[in-house]
Structure 1
Amino acid sequence: MPSTLPLADPAPADGLLPDSVRDGAESRNLGVYLHVPFCRVRCGYCDFNTYTGDELRGAKRGDYASQAIAEVIEGGSILRRAGLPERPVSTVFFGGGTPTMLPSSDLASMFHAVVDTWGLVPGAEVTTEANPDSVDEQYLRELKAAGFTRVSFGMQSAVPSVLATLERTHDPARIPLVVAWARDAGLDVSLDLIYGTPGETLDDWRRSLDMALAQEPDHLSAYSLIVEDGTKLARQIRRGEVAEPDDDTAADMYELADARLAEAGYGWYEVSNWARGDEHASRHNLAYWQGHDWWGVGPGAHSHVGGVRWWNVKHPAAYAERIVAGVSPAAGRETLDAQARQTEKILLGVRVRDELRVSDLDEVGRSAVAGLIADGLIEGRQAIAGTLRLTLRGRLLADAVVRRLLGN
């Protein structure tokens, strides 16, 4: 598959950051994302930076934790040398791939390296993603004992035919088991769903929502399936083997999800995310949308500190080679100018409930607000109070709202 890394300047071999990252650092939280790039099988729709056993080209899963720990330690050194204030970590997130393909002891070691390097704020959120068939009761207890607070299960669907199209390997009947095990271990639970899969009906989607809600998760994400170029699913659609997802059906599914979740006591806080109370919103993901700092560890992981963004080499073998050589794994980086940062503030902030204020907009954006209210895309009462909150229709047309706020 061709590289999809952005075009930008080469990253320095020592990873040092410019003095500009210190500006306003005291007002930004620090999070850590640890990417675990391993999967047992590659799902046909997935374009994440993941690798199955026969794609590793000599990289070894057993060596990965020590490599990630080395990057964590060097990351702490780089932030200190940049003159940034000491900030304990607010959130830690293990994503992938399938982080739980590694032994729980590896995840624990990586997490403890983060704590030893940066410290941890009281009540920090510590999450790992997991496939329902990649953990058992003992594994989840070990995560809790290590300091994890939250697990996000990739449920995706309750319908076997939909899971088959997505090439997910778990049995839907396993969802109640893993949720119960996580609860018994003392972990908060999030469930991830995908809607709009080719062949999925509105009744199929209702069945998935009903099963997810029956588990009473603390948090639920529902993402519309995006057919990404280069994936197996895109090739199947191009050859006519699988029907292309229908946008109107996907919109109906989103509306159904929002209604069912609201009835069950879940409030939306981001276009694709609902929580059973604000205290259960994903603080790690909010940090991305709110422009805070995070260090991304692992192959292909992205980082952002004070308007400087960089990303690591993609393949685990190339990553390992750089770590062993004591060279930064960063492949490229860019420094966002004031205009780019403003664009991102609007692009990301508008998706979060009450995050973006009218005062954050430039003259073009402020002049668009009245029309957006008239078109039923943002709530008028909230806008008068100074905050932009998307209506249900606005959430379905969030990209169009962004374009109008930017004058595009």
Structure 2
Amino acid sequence: MPSVLPDGETMPEDGSLPASALAGAGDRPLAFYLHVPYCATRCGYCDFNTYTATELRGSGGVLASRDNYADTLADEIRLARKVLGDDPRRARTVFVGGGTPTLLAAADLVAMLGVVREEFGLADDAEITTEANPDSVNPEYLAELRAGGFNRISFGMQSARQHVLKVLDRTHTPGRPEACVAEARAAGFEHVNLDLIYGTPGESDEDWRATLAAAVEAGPDHISAYALIVEEGTQLARRIRRGEVPMTDDDIHADRYLIADSVLADAGYSWYEVSNWATSEAGRCLHNELYWRGADWWGAGPGAHSHVGGVRWWNVKHPGAYAAALAGGRSPGAARELLPNEDRRVERIMLELRLRDGVPLSLLKPDGLAASRKALADGLLEETAYERGLGVLTLRGRLLADAVVRDLVD
């Protein structure tokens, strides 16, 4: 979750939504994101809404405790049921993220999923994912998650090199994420992801190739690779400012992306979103695809964001304030915004252009359509897709995705 929440209009205390948000809901998928805001330590690059035990001590008391967090989050899921009323939709996906969800007992994660199941039901083919740190799980923990209904797991690998992990303040040892993939498979997980980061200060091309090779060898059916973004206010940003570690430039990021796409393609992974590759359509992260396609989702937890029918809202950030609101019978929502049609059009272009399936050119205004023709001529959009009325990024276009989006939304 972002470290700074945007402005917005006041959220009703009961969390109610305007009737327009619920109109036609039955035609849209419904997803749940469950945020666990706890971490054992803070990674130097992290800008998410997370808290260590030290950061929570004396600021929220028992309300901020992770020991009773599953019960607190369950209260928000029950609130969601009240707000959505007789909405007949079963949850298509549930994604538990953080933070480090696996700092909670496996039974807590299963209980949180159980409340979604009790209140909304799960689709027959529901995708149920949790994120996990490699050093916070073992075979017994994974088996308990699988028995409790989870069928997809995402491990934060980041790098196979110790010196890179050290710069990122990651606590697991090289080789542990790969072992986790094998343990997850043994526990019966159908789908496993490894998250990688490229462009860490001090990382070489050789380091990055070694990371990709280790990830591929582990055999997950999904790999995500993200360029390191140095966020202001993080420990890593302060270290770079002091000259302790060098800043990685955009050209190196581009080179690392090209290496990733080549290595993963050779290993049988296909890109379906700019930063995500899978070995099959079933291996894709459906939950994230629902985000990118503007579906409805309820984000439960401190700082979590939600979207239903063009209404977007976000919760208070601190676990203590979040728990206090729910204990008092109030929505933990901090504020909300009703998205005008033009904003929704722009967001569709921004998100769907990142997908292998592309964005319909019919969404573009005259200036954007003219820009798309130039992007096509410049080799940034695929010609065959364009002829079918879709804007699909080429490999070069993926490297310049942000610039292409800026031109097309005009």
Query: Which category describes the TM-score, using the shorter chain as reference length?
Result: over 0.9
Q: Which amino acid aligns with 1:323?
A: L
Deviation, 1:129, is 0.2
Which residue of structure 2 aligns with residue 62 of structure 1?
Answer: 67
Deviation, 1:27, is 2.4
Looking at structure 1, the residues matched to 395 and 178 of structure 2 have their Cα atoms a distance apart, in angstroms, of 30
Which residue of structure 1 aligns with residue 146 of structure 2?
Answer: 144
Deviation, 1:355, is 3.5
Deviation, 1:133, is 0.3
Q: Where does 1:48-59 land on structure 2 (aligned, <5 Å)?
A: 48-56=48-56, 57=59, 58=61, 59=64
Deviation, 1:216, is 1.3
Deviation, 1:242, is 1.4
Q: Which amino acid aligns with 2:370?
A: S
Q: 2:369 aligns with which of 366, 370, 384?
A: 366
Residue 193 of structure 1 aligns to a residue in which SS?
strand
Q: Deviations over 1:36-65 (max 9, x none)?
A: 000000000000000000111222111100
Residue 192 of structure 1 aligns to a residue in which SS?
strand
Looking at structure 2, the residues matched to 391 and 23 of structure 1 have their Cα atoms a distance apart, in angstroms, of 37
Q: Deviations over 1:320-372 (max 9, x none)?
A: 11111111000010000011111101111100112311122222222222101
Percent identity of equivalent pairs: 56
Q: Deviations over 1:235-259 (max 9, x none)?
A: 1111111111121111100000000
Q: 1:209 aligns with which of 187, 207, 212?
A: 212
Q: State whether residues 22 and 84 of structure 2, in contact with CA within 8 Å, keep that contact through their aligned partners in structure 1.
A: no
Q: Which amino acid aligns with 1:384?
A: E
In structure 2, do the counterparts of structure 1 residues 9 and 155 end up closer, same or farther at CA, with 3 Å as the change threshold? Answer: same
Moved more, 373-382 or 289-298: 373-382
In structure 2, do the counterparts of structure 1 residues 47 and 3 end up closer, same or farther at CA, with 3 Å as the change threshold? Answer: closer
What stretches of structure 2 of length at least 5 have no aligned partner? none
Moved more, 328-337 or 382-391: 382-391
Q: 2:135 aligns with which of 109, 112, 133?
A: 133
Q: 2:100 aligns with which of 81, 92, 98?
A: 98
Looking at structure 2, the residues matched to 182 and 369 of structure 1 have their Cα atoms a distance apart, in angstroms, of 43
Q: Where does 1:388-403 land on structure 2 (aligned, <5 Å)?
A: 388-403=391-406
Looking at structure 2, the residues matched to 168 and 126 of structure 1 have their Cα atoms a distance apart, in angstroms, of 25
Q: 2:113 aligns with which of 111, 132, 149?
A: 111
Q: 2:221 aligns with which of 210, 215, 218?
A: 218
Residue 313 of structure 2 aligns to a residue in which SS?
strand
Looking at structure 1, the residues matched to 47 and 368 of structure 2 have their Cα atoms a distance apart, in angstroms, of 33
Q: Where does 1:165-204 land on structure 2 (aligned, <5 Å)?
A: 165-187=167-189, 188-204=191-207
Residue 69 of structure 2 aligns to a residue in which SS?
helix
Looking at structure 2, the residues matched to 378 and 24 of structure 1 have their Cα atoms a distance apart, in angstroms, of 33
Q: 2:276 aligns with which of 273, 280, 283?
A: 273
Looking at structure 1, the residues matched to 320 and 266 of structure 2 have their Cα atoms a distance apart, in angstroms, of 48
Q: 2:78 aligns with which of 73, 76, 99?
A: 73
Looking at structure 1, the residues matched to 338 and 407 of structure 2 have their Cα atoms a distance apart, in angstroms, of 25
Q: Which amino acid aligns with 2:174?
A: P
Q: Which amino acid aligns with 1:376?
A: G
Residue 223 of structure 1 aligns to a residue in which SS?
strand
CA RMSD of aligned residues (A): 1.1
Deviation, 1:3, is 5.7
Moved more, 381-390 or 96-105: 381-390
Q: Deviations over 1:222-274 (max 9, x none)?
A: 00000001111111111111111121111100000000111011100000000
Moved more, 5-14 or 202-211: 5-14
Residue 7 of structure 1 aligns to a residue in which SS?
coil
In the alignment of these two chains, the number of paired residues is: 403
Looking at structure 2, the residues matched to 127 and 339 of structure 1 have their Cα atoms a distance apart, in angstroms, of 32
**What's the TM-score, normalizing by structure 1?**
0.97
